[in-house]
């Protein structure tokens, strides 16, 4: 898809760049190894219907969705009309994703999380993460009158009702605090301390897992699995993170424990993709 209006874009908010960066973030998250109980280069983790090839097909199938989301937001301000337009585009993106994956849910949460940030990036002349998260939150707080009926709720929505947690929609409405206050700081701190890029990204993921009420984990294993995920992630970070031998050993233990519980932290993975997306957007000084 191309944007319909003839607009001259700053490089920071060019819809094509935004869409490319969004797809790259999904690919980088999927390929990051070793992640606890998540699909990566080693295998399928706790998943039976997903593998790395499927994740990559899904990510690439979403470029047109991210492009359309960015184009729809150009020149707009947060509103119910924009919220509902983005939701419609996102639901169409889900159809494309499911077609690419033969019915497996690889990136439903990421379409919402990263997709909102794509729209926010197209709306703002600056790519400061806090500005973009605030813009995304302002959009997310509007109602979608065309949302699926309660009988068609996703697993995540049912978990929100059952356990009283914020979920992906609450995370967006709050301005993605786990991205701004956990993922990005951990990523930058680990880089500054000499970690490799993969080690820094793993530390960012673990910082998110350590405090997130992950609806994917809750859906698969309840409170027991959530406690195992959060405490295990804290153990890795307290042992020095993925760059240190003790941290790496703790990460292996966390991986084994969550795989045993069939509890994949997919919500944290979506927020890591959002973290990577924001981190790699071109900056305007």
Residue 149 confidence (pLDDT): 59
Cβ neighbours of residue 4 closer than 8 Å, sequence gap 6 or more: 71
Burial of 88 (0-12, 13-18, 19+ CB in 10 A): middle
Is 12 a residue whose pLDDT tops 60? no
Q: At what angle do helices 63-73 and 108-123 cross, to 10 degrees?
A: 40
Integer Cα distance of 104 and 50 in angstroms:
7
For 154-184, write each residue's pLDDT tens digit.
676 777 777 767 778 889 999 999 999 999 9
**What average pLDDT does the chain have?**
91
pLDDT tier for residue 7 given thresholds of 50, 70 and 90: very low
Residue 200 confidence (pLDDT): 98
Residue 166 confidence (pLDDT): 74
Is 201 a residue whose pLDDT tops 90? yes
What domains does the chain contain, in order, with CATH numbers? 11-152+164-280 (1.10.4200.10)
Tokens of 127: 């790519």
Is 1 a residue whose pLDDT tops 90? no
Over pLDDT 70: what percentage of the chain? 91
Integer Cα distance of 8 and 177 in angstroms:
32
Tokens of 243: 């760059």
| CA angle (118, 49, 233) in 5-degree steps | 65
Q: How many CB atoms lie within 10 A of CB 227?
A: 12
Residues pairing with 40 in the sheet:
43
Q: Comparing C-alpha atoms, which of 194, 193, 204, 261 is closest to residue 233? A: 204
Contact criterion met (CB below 8 Å) for 232 and 225:
no
- Give the pTM: 0.92
Integer Cα distance of 39 and 30 in angstroms:
6
**78 DSSP assignment:** S
For 13-63, write each residue's pLDDT tens digit.
799 999 999 999 999 999 999 999 999 999 999 998 899 999 999 999 999
Contact criterion met (CB below 8 Å) for 265 and 207:
no
Is 258 a residue whose pLDDT tops 60? yes
Q: Tell me which of 81 and 168 has the higher pLDDT.
A: 81
Integer Cα distance of 177 and 15 in angstroms:
25
Integer Cα distance of 174 and 156 in angstroms:
17
Tokens of 230: 């959060």
Q: At what angle do helices 129-140 and 108-123 cross, to 10 degrees?
A: 110
């Amino acid at each position: 898809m191309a944007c319909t209006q003839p607009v001259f874009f700053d490089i920071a908010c060019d819809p094509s760049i935004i869409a490319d960066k969004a797809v790259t973030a999904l690919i980088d998250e999927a390929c990051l190894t070793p992640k606890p109980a998540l699909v990566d280069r080693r295998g399928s983790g706790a998943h039976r219907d997903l593998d790395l090839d499927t994740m990559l097909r899904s990510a690439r199938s979403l470029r047109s969705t991210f492009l359309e989301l960015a184009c729809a937001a150009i020149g707009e301000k947060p509103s119910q009309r924009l919220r509902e337009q983005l939701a419609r585009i996102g639901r169409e993106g889900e159809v494309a994703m499911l077609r690419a994956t033969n019915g497996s849910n690889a990136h439903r949460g990421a379409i919402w999380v990263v997709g909102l940030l794509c729209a926010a990036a197209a709306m703002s002349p600056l790519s400061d993460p806090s500005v973009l998260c605030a813009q995304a939150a302002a959009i997310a707080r509007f109602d979608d009158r065309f949302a699926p009926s309660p009988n068609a709720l996703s697993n995540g929505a049912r978990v929100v009702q059952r356990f009283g947690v914020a979920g992906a929609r609450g995370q967006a409405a709050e301005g993605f605090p786990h991205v701004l206050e956990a993922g990005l700081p951990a990523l930058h701190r680990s880089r500054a301390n000499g970690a490799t890029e993969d080690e820094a990204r793993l530390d960012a993921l673990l910082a998110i897992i350590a405090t997130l009420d992950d609806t994917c984990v809750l859906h698969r294993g309840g409170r027991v699995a959530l406690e195992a995920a959060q405490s295990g992630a804290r153990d890795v970070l307290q042992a020095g993170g993925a760059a240190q031998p003790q941290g790496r050993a703790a990460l292996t233990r966390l991986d084994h424990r969550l795989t045993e519980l069939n509890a994949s932290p997919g919500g944290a993975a979506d927020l890591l993709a959002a973290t990577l997306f924001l981190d790699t957007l071109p900056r305007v000084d």
